[in-house]
Chain A
Amino acid sequence: MKSKDRNYFKILRAGINTTYQDLGRNNLYHIGIPFSGAMDKRNFQLLNSLLQNDYNSPVIEFAYQGPHLRYFGKDIFFCISGNVSFKIITKEGVIDGNSYQCYLLKNGDEVDIHSTNKSVYGYFSINGTFGVDYYWGSCSINTQAQIGPNNGNKFSKDLEIEIIDINNSFNKRKLDYLGSTIENIRVIKGTNYDYFSESSQNKFFKESFKITKLSDRMGMRLEGPKIENIVDPNIKSEGLVKGVIQITSAGDPIIMLSDHGTIGGYPKIATVISADYDRLVQLTPGSNIKFKDVSLEDAETLYKLYQMETNNIISQIK
């Protein structure tokens, strides 16, 4: 491709844990590959809806600090989802951008994504398609197993992000959405709940836990009251799913997130319900969380309500 025909971003600063993500890859747990995919599925979905892309189009995910990008090519629109501060730098000047709004970029313009506010993940995409390779049906980058485009690595400075298609029939749209927060993380009791002393079971639901800095796409480590195991600190290794809360030998909870190891040998005290997962992953280190016990039936209903709420938000895009 001649350079004058190319449409691409050059990365001036990569940001933190910047990767391509889509809805992830299924049916590979049995060989040790987690599903990956965008951590916050609602913000992923909102972004592709705003940009009128296919529902599973690749987007760029970043954590805490996003990339600084310079654009080269034909006019293009971009949009950002999540609670994100960013600037758009053009020949006319510098403006502060708003999330959930589409902006035009011309050749040479820049987007500088400073930070996510009181949240972890943000998403960036364009009215078109990034040039990515697919691995088992997904372009999600899993840096742990080094699977995905860019040799399974996170983005680095000077990398060029190719755009292979621009949607010219695009209508610029926006959404007034402030994001959704949550007070308690709702969980279903786990398969090893009775491994823990009664006083620890009570503490688990009554006291709060702090999210530590040792948290990433694989898992979230918490600290708080020690959870006392009265049976065995280990179980025979078995499958894990996202949201499972294991208690380590030291008595601390660790929540499995989208890039988690597929099997583990710590007892499971509880599992975060599907309806609360998007909001759980957006909680920053240092935050305190409390767990609330719900029934399986309630969890199934709450998930349906959460999906309805997402569809309702999408219907408000104008």
Chain B
Amino acid sequence: MIKNILNLGDAALYCDFGSEVNQEINSNVIKYFYHIKKLNLKGITNLTPSYNKLIISYDLNIHSFLSLKKKIENIEIKENNKLEKNLIEIPVCCDNNFALDIKRVENKLKLKSEIILERFFSKNYFCYMTGFVAGMPFLGDLEKDMRLKRLETPRVKVPKGSVGITEQFCNIYTFETPGGWNILGNTPQNIFDTSNQSNPNLVNPGDTIKFYRITLDQYNEIKR
């Protein structure tokens, strides 16, 4: 299922699963990711799955590119290997103080805010990958008429918990960080828990997310 393995620098394999972004290709990436993770191969220092690539970083003292490439090429993943999937429900408040870009989204999509939010909450989303900053999930797919580009000028600080959309994806800002996604609301739920060292991510690749809408009072109640 890996189309091609290249090198990324001198200490990482760049496994290419295709150029498209869809759940089928991504599910293959995630299967390989979990499978190789379980093998616990000595000298592999990091695995980074994304939409359609898997990057395998290794210790140059232990592996060379060609020897590790051969090892990975010989891995067999059965088509019927099941992906572990959890359904996770996440509350989101779309109060004016949180929906930072709702006006921009209304203008760009030419839809009323209530319609936008109704469509946003009516769908389940698939987690393609987590990362950029700790625990940030990249979720998809939004309906075609809900897709728009990121902000022309990214915000210097996006508040923690912000839920944003861009193109076919939505995400949750697990930390206050710079960013350019269109923010529709904010979740009071902690998505990344530093104190939980065995499983700090609430959302993992392959999981399904259901957002549900809450009022400001409910938001404050959960926050407390």
Contact = CB atoms under 8 A, between A and B. Distances in A.
Contact of B52 (A236, A262, A264): A236
Nearest to B30: A30
Interface stretch (A54-62, A160-168, A269-277, A281-289): A269-277
Given A32-B130, A274-B60, A296-B65, A239 B48 contact: yes
A31 B47 CA distance: 10
Interface string B36-49: 01000000111111
Contacts of B14: 191
A244 B14 CA distance: 12
B211 interface: no
Query: Which of the four size classes fits the interface of chain B?
Result: 35 or more
Nearest to A260: B132
A33 B177 CA distance: 14
A60 B201 CA distance: 29
B201 A273 contact: no
Contact of A27 (B10, B46, B51): B46
Given A238-B53, A268-B8, A296-B65, A30 B60 contact: no
Nearest to B40: A27
Contacts of A152: 194
Interface residues of A, number: 41
A300 B15 CA distance: 19
Given A237-B50, A303-B10, A32 B45 contact: no
A317 interface: no
B205 interface: yes
Of listed A28, A262, A268, residue having the most chain B CB within 10 A: A262
Nearest to A303: B60
Nearest to A264: B132
B197 interface: yes
A42 to B, nearest CB: 14
B185 to A, nearest CB: 21
Nearest to B128: A237
A229 B47 CA distance: 28
B134 interface: yes
Given A144-B133, A274-B9, A263 B45 contact: no
Contacts of A244: 8-9
Nearest to B11: A274
A264 B55 CA distance: 12
A30 B47 contact: yes
Contacts of A263: 48, 50, 129, 131-132
Contact of B49 (A30, A147, A243): A30
Interface string A218-254: 0000000000000000001111110110000000000
Give the one of B50, B53, B175 with max A CB within 10 A. Answer: B50
Interface of A: 26-33, 35, 135-136, 144-147, 152, 188, 190-191, 236-241, 243-244, 261-264, 268, 271-274, 296, 299-300, 303, 307
Given A27-B44, A191-B14, 13 more contacts: A29-B46, A29-B57, A30-B37, A32-B130, A144-B133, A145-B175, A147-B194, A236-B50, A237-B51, A238-B50, A238-B53, A239-B53, A303-B60
9 contacts: A30-B33, A30-B46, A32-B130, A32-B174, A35-B45, A262-B48, A271-B9, A271-B10, A303-B10
Interface of B: 6-12, 14, 19, 21, 33, 37, 44-55, 57, 60-61, 64-65, 129-136, 138, 174-175, 177, 192, 194, 197, 200-201, 204-205
List of 7 A-B pairs having minimum Cβ-Cβ separation, nearest first: A239-B48, A271-B9, A239-B55, A32-B131, A299-B10, A29-B46, A262-B131
